[in-house]
């Protein structure tokens, strides 16, 4: 007689075998090399995280970039910059193309290196030798020269802020040959060489006049429209700081609210209302390409000196930034991971520049955003087990995110919310799991992961259900294997919400995220 313990009647689809392990040594599924690169590029920060150090991430990205075809690397660089709004990773991938396929680099350079900060990142990464060379080389040098010779005065001034390398260092490296008199004078001014002030472009001339004026005690001069970092060493008055706040970009104002408060800007009549109006302007928020977690960071960092109207405006800006969060048909369950490992900074450990926003804050933000657009959605925060918490969908995203983030601690058990749904016999259409995917409480020695076992049990009851696993920090494994009803996506930009909506509505390819990157055109734009 056949051994019925070995050959039991199958119920549902055969579960895939977990052939990899996560950082805890627990069973997991390995992402394909393409998916690993996509996840790292769109969510990686090249800083130490709870489970990975910066050098480990760098080595992994470079290894994948060498393993995969250059065209996919180029598309990933474009996607990470344009949709993920990342900085270091797109520059790193572009630099890797300088070694593998310099012709392809020429085709994508202007779409990845789209401002002075990205230019300096690209040059520094190449000079470091990490991608296999320490010199720029002929074609990359010409690409850098072209940027310098076509950038506007405003772009050049913005690029002049920062070091390692400074823009002056870059100019000395590539020796651009300007055709316009103003550009030649500007490069001389940047390098500290003799120049004719009347040949400088308008903004730089205004800056030079302003410096002389404030040095002589003038207080009524208009602040020139230059990056405010160029002005901070000058003896500015409160009125000058108010002008900076009025003329500053949305992102600059968001990043310097406490600085404005420290210099008395909000004590001037009407200034709090003007700044608040700028912050909550939906068009300005969209144009700034602000990430939701950046608004959360600004909100967390605001001091007691900040007026209530300005703090409220940050909450309004959050609502505007989350406009791409979709409303789903059917019964939605969102499960934020609130375990101990989620307490690490969302963008990694960066010394004094470490973000105050933790992974748990981002997971809570995603959950709060989903219930904002889907008021009937059920929220099931989990660590070792599901944590009981009642949220009000009418509360602001910031309020609900703070409530969720306050319950962190314990081990990670990604299958816990699915197991609870199965015990209840709950009917669901969409389950959104927001975690670092490092589940170990539910580890099994053989076979599939417990998350897949519980998901398969749920699918027998709800055959049309879909599972979205959002990984806040990049990793190479997951607890739920990629397939037609399961999508693994990483990050915390609004692009994640858009892709999630496409998947749930059946508008993505079978490869989901990698498929979206494949759609990127390499034609010069």
Chain centroid offset of residue 42 CA: 7
Q: How confident is the model at residue 43 (pLDDT cuts 50, 70, 90)?
A: low
Output the six-digit token pair for 4: 């019925």
Return the pLDDT at 303: 79
The last residue of one of the domains, among 286, 320, 354, is 320
Cα gap 364→514, rounded to integer Å: 26
For residue 6, is pLDDT > 50?
no
Q: Calculate the CA 442 to chain-centre distance.
A: 30
Residue 8 pLDDT exceeds 50: no
Report if residue 477 sits inside a domain. Answer: yes
Co-location of 262 and 334 in the same domain: no
What integer pLDDT is reported at residue 245 of this predicted model?
95
Global pTM reads 0.83
Q: How confident is the model at residue 525 (pLDDT cuts 50, 70, 90)?
A: low
φ/ψ (deg, to 5) at 519: -75, -15
User: Is residue 213, in this structure, part of any structural domain at all?
Assistant: no
CB 426 within 8 A of CB 418: no
The range of the structural domain enclosing residue 487 comes to 20-24+322-518
525 Cβ contact partners less than 8 Å away, ≥ 6 residues apart: 110, 111
Are 326 and 286 in the same domain?
Answer: no
- Let me know if residue 83 belongs to a domain: yes
Asked if 281 and 314 count as a contact pair (C-beta separation under 8 A), the reply is: no
pLDDT of 346 > 80? The answer is no
Mean pLDDT for the stretch of residues 388-405 = 85
181 plus 228 within the same structural domain: no
Give CA–CA dist 483/512, Å, rounded.
Answer: 9
Two tokens, residue 114: 């789209």
Q: Kindly give, in sequence order, each residue whose CB lies less than 8 Å from that of residue 375, ignoring residues fewer than 6 positions away.
A: 393, 394
Between 267 and 500, the more confident residue is 267
Looking at mean pLDDT, say which of 4-8, 15-19, 413-417, 521-525 comes out highest: 413-417
Q: What is the mean pLDDT of the chain?
A: 87
- Provide the pLDDT confidence category of residue 501 given band limits of 50, 70 and 90: confident
What is the reported pLDDT for 95? 95
**Mean pLDDT in residue range 15-41:** 83
247 and 396 assigned to the same domain: no
What is the Cα gyration radius of the chain?
26
- Among 299, 320, 341, identify where a domain stops: 320
Is there a cis peptide before residue 117, judged by omega within 30 degrees of 0? Answer: no
Task: Say yes or no: 249 and 334 in one domain.
Answer: no
- Has residue 209 been placed in a domain? no
Q: What is the pLDDT of residues 279-305, one digit of tens each?
A: 999 999 988 878 777 788 888 888 788
Same domain flag for 49 and 158: yes
**Angle, vertex CA 86, rays to CA 84 and CA 92, nearest 5:** 125
Residue 350: predicted pLDDT? 57
Per-residue model confidence as pLDDT tens digits over 47-65: 444 445 567 778 888 999 9
The reply to whether 57 and 152 lie within a common domain is yes
Measured CA angle at 470 (ends 71, 85), to 5 deg:
50
- Structural domain includes residue 240: yes
Cβ neighbour number for residue 521 with a 10 Å cutoff: 9
Q: Residues 41, 79: contact at Cβ < 8 Å?
A: yes
* Three-state DSSP class for residue 68: coil
Domain count, the chain: 3
- Residue the block writes with tokens 């889907």: 374
As a whole number of angstroms, the distance between CA 499 and CA 462 comes to 22
**Residues β-bridged to residue 478:** 29
Most confident of 46-55, 251-260, 482-491, 495-504: 251-260
- Comparing 49 with 310, which gets the higher pLDDT? 310
Most confident of 2-11, 14-23, 158-167: 158-167
User: Of 169, 206, 173, which is closest to residue 190 (Cα–Cα)?
Assistant: 169
CB atoms < 10 A from the CB of 337, how many? 30
Alpha-carbon span 127 to 134, nearest angstrom? 4
Is 211 within the bounds of a domain?
no
Q: Same structural domain for residues 326 and 312?
A: no
Rounded to an integer, what distance in angstroms lies between the CA atom of residue 97 and that of residue 100?
5
Cα torsion angle, 291, 293, 294, 299, sign:
positive
Of all residues in the chain, what percent carry a pLDDT higher than 90? 53
Pairing of strands 486-490, 378-379: unpaired
Confidence of residue 351 (pLDDT cuts 50, 70, 90): low
**pLDDT above 70 (res 355):** no
Question: At how many degrees (to 10) do helices 397-405 and 359-373 cross?
Answer: 140
Mean pLDDT to the nearest integer, 447-469:
94
Query: Where a domain ends, among 293, 320, 347?
Result: 320
CATH code, domain with 505: 3.40.50.410
Looking at the fold, whether 242 and 112 belong to one and the same domain comes out as: no
| Residue 229: DSSP 8-state | G
Could you tell me if 304 and 338 lie in one domain? Answer: no
Contact 310, 276 (CB under 8 A): yes
d(CA 335, CA 432): 6
Q: Which residue has the higher pLDDT, 364 or 467?
A: 467
CA distances 64 to 32, 38, 93, 354, Å, are: 10, 10, 10, 27
Does position 511 have pLDDT exceeding 80, yes or no?
no
Are residue 293 and residue 382 in the same domain, yes or no?
no
Tokens of 118: 């990205």
pLDDT of residue 114: 94
How far apart, in whole angstroms, are the C-alpha atoms of residue 326 and residue 337? 21
- pLDDT value for 69: 96
Q: Are residues 239 and 346 in the same domain?
A: no
Residue 219 lies in a domain: no
Instruction: Describe the strand order of the beta sheet including 477-478 as a list of residue ranges.
Output: 20-21, 27-30, 477-478
Contacts of residue 420, Cβ cutoff 8 Å, sequence gap at least 6: 380, 385, 386
Identify the residue with better confidence: 260 or 304.
260
- Judged against a pLDDT cut of 60, whether residue 2 lies above it is answered with no
For the segment 443-450, the average pLDDT, to the nearest whole number, is 82
- Please report, in angstroms and rounded to a whole number, the separation of the first and last CA atoms in the chain: 69
* The pLDDT of residue 250: 93
Task: Place 261 in a pLDDT band, splitting at 50, 70 and 90.
Answer: very high
Cα dihedral angle (337, 350, 45, 98), rounded to 10 degrees? -170
Residue 454 in any domain: the answer is yes
């Amino acid at each position: 007689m056949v051994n019925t313990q070995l050959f039991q009647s199958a119920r549902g689809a055969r579960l895939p075998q977990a052939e990899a392990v996560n950082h805890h040594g627990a069973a997991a599924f390995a992402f394909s090399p393409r998916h690993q690169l996509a996840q790292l590029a769109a969510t990686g920060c090249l800083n130490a995280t709870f489970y990975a150090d910066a050098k480990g991430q760098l080595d992994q990205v470079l290894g994948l970039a060498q393993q995969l075809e250059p065209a996919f690397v180029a598309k990933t660089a474009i996607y990470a910059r344009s949709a993920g709004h990342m900085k270091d990773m797109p520059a790193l991938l572009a630099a890797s193309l300088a070694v593998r396929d310099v012709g392809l680099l020429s085709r994508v350079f202007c779409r990845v290196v789209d401002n002075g900060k990205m230019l300096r990142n690209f040059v520094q990464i190449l000079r470091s030798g990490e991608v296999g060379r320490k010199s720029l080389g002929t074609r990359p040098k010409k690409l850098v020269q072209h940027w310098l010779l076509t950038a506007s005065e405003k772009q050049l001034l913005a690029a002049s802020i920062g070091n390692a390398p400074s823009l002056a260092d870059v100019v000395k490296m590539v020796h651009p040959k300007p055709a316009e008199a103003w550009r030649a004078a500007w490069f001389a001014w940047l390098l500290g060489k003799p120049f004719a002030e009347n040949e400088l472009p308008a903004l730089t001339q205004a800056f030079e006049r302003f410096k002389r004026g404030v040095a002589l005690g003038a207080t009524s001069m208009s602040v020139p429209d230059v990056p405010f970092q160029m002005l901070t060493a000058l003896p500015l008055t409160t009125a000058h700081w108010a002008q900076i706040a009025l003329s500053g970009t949305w992102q600059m104002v968001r990043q310097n609210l406490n600085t404005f408060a420290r210099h008395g800007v909000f004590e001037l009549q009407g200034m709090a209302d003007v700044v608040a109006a700028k912050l909550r302007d939906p068009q300005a928020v969209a144009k700034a390409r602000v990430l939701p977690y950046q608004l959360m960071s600004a909100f967390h960092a605001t001091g007691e000196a900040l007026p209530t109207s300005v703090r409220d405006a940050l909450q309004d800006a959050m609502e505007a930034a989350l406009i791409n969060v979709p409303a789903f048909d059917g019964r939605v369950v969102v499960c934020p991971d609130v375990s101990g490992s989620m307490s690490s900074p969302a963008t990694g450990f960066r010394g004094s520049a470490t973000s105050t926003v933790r992974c748990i804050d981002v997971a809570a933000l995603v959950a709060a955003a989903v219930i904002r657009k889907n008021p009937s959605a059920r929220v099931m925060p989990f660590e070792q087990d599901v944590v009981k918490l009642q949220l009000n969908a009418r509360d602001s995203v910031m309020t609900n995110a703070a409530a969720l983030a306050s319950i962190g601690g314990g081990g990670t058990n990604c299958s816990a919310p699915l197991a609870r749904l199965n015990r209840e016999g709950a009917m669901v259409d969409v389950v959104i799991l927001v975690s670092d995917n490092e589940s170990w409480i539910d580890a099994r020695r053989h076979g599939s992961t417990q998350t897949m076992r519980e998901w398969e049990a749920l699918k027998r009851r709800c055959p049309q259900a879909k599972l979205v696993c959002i990984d806040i920090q990049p990793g190479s494994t997951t607890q739920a294997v990629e397939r037609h009803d399961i999508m693994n996506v990483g990050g915390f930009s609004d692009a994640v919400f858009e892709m999630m909506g496409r998947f749930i509505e059946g508008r993505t390819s079978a490869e989901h995220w990698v498929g979206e990157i494949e759609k990127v055109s390499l034609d010069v734009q």
